[in-house]
Amino acid sequence: MKSNRYMHKSLTLKCMGVLSLLLMLAGCSLKEAPPLNIYTLMPPKAEAFAQSPYRNKVLKVSFPLSIREPLSYKMTYSYSMHERGYYQNSQWSNSIGKLIQGNLIQTLQKSRLYKAVLPFQSSVPEDMRLESVVYDLCHYIRGNDSYAVISIEFALVDMRSGKLIKSRRFTYKEPTPTVDAAGYAAATNRVMNRLSLDLLEWIR
C-alpha cells in the first residue's frame, strides 16, 4: 500500500512538473510574440465644385480589380524584381481594395460632381460607373531607395448606353520616410491624397 501511494505521489509530482514547464513555455511564447500593427488610409482632402455636367447623375464605384496579388489585408513589399512578400506583423485595417473603394467614394461625394456616389453593392440604379484595375500596389526597397508605388487604371462607363466614356491610368512613386511598414503606410496615404485630387480633375 505504501509503495502504491508513493508511486502515485511521485507520478502526480511529475505530471505537475511537466504541466508547469508547458505553462512556462507557453507564457514565454506569448510574451515574445510581437504586437500586430494596424494601418489605414485616411479620408482624402477634396473640395466641392460649383458646377458639373453630371450633377443629376448617379455614379457607382466598383470594387477594384487586381492583376497581381489579391487585394487583402496584407501589406506587400519587394526587395528584388522577382521577389515579393508580406509584412508579418503589420496589416491594413481592412482589405486594401475596400479602403481604396471607400476613399474614392468619399472623394467623389465631397466634390459634389454627382447627384449621388454609391458603392457598387447598392440596389439604386446608376447612370454611370467608375471601374478600376490595380496594376501595382507595393513597398519597394532597392538598395538605399525605399518608396511606395501605386498604379491604377480607371474607366468611366455610361451604363445607359454601355459605352466607355473615357479611361486613364495613374501611376505614382512616393519615397517612404522610414524603411518599414509604417513608412510604407505614410507614403501610401500621401499618394492616395494626390490620386484623389488628380482623379477629380480627370473625371469632371
Give the cell for residue 97: 481594395
Q: Both 16 and 110 in a single domain?
A: no
- Helical spans, DSSP H, in the chain: 2-32, 96-111, 181-203
Q: Both 79 and 18 in a single domain?
A: no
> Is the per-residue pLDDT at 14 higher than 60?
no
The answer to whether 156 and 203 are in contact (CB under 8 A) is yes
Q: Both 9 and 22 in a single domain?
A: yes
> Is the per-residue pLDDT at 6 higher than 70?
no
pLDDT tens track for 46-94: 889 999 999 999 999 999 999 988 999 999 999 998 899 999 999 999 9
CA gap 114, 110 in Å, rounded: 10
Q: Both 71 and 149 in a single domain?
A: yes
Q: Both 190 and 137 in a single domain?
A: yes
pLDDT tens track for 181-195: 999 999 999 999 999
What is the count of structural domains for the chain?
2
Q: Both 81 and 96 in a single domain?
A: yes
Q: Both 25 and 41 in a single domain?
A: no
Mean pLDDT, the chain, rounded, equals: 89
Which of 1-5, 68-72, 155-159 has the largest mean confidence? 155-159
The answer to whether 130 and 123 are in contact (CB under 8 A) is no
pLDDT above 70: percentage of residues in the chain:
84
Q: Both 103 and 4 in a single domain?
A: no
Q: Both 107 and 172 in a single domain?
A: yes
pLDDT at 13 (0 to 100): 46
pLDDT tens track for 20-42: 555 565 555 555 667 899 999 99
Q: What is the mean pLDDT of residues 89-116?
A: 96
Q: Both 142 and 53 in a single domain?
A: yes
Q: Both 121 and 53 in a single domain?
A: yes
CA gap 59, 114 in Å, rounded: 7
Q: Both 12 and 41 in a single domain?
A: no
Q: For position 180, which CATH number holds?
A: 3.40.50.10610
For the chain, how are helix, strand and coil distributed in percent, rounded to 5? Answer: 35, 35, 30
Q: Domain range for residue 95?
A: 37-203
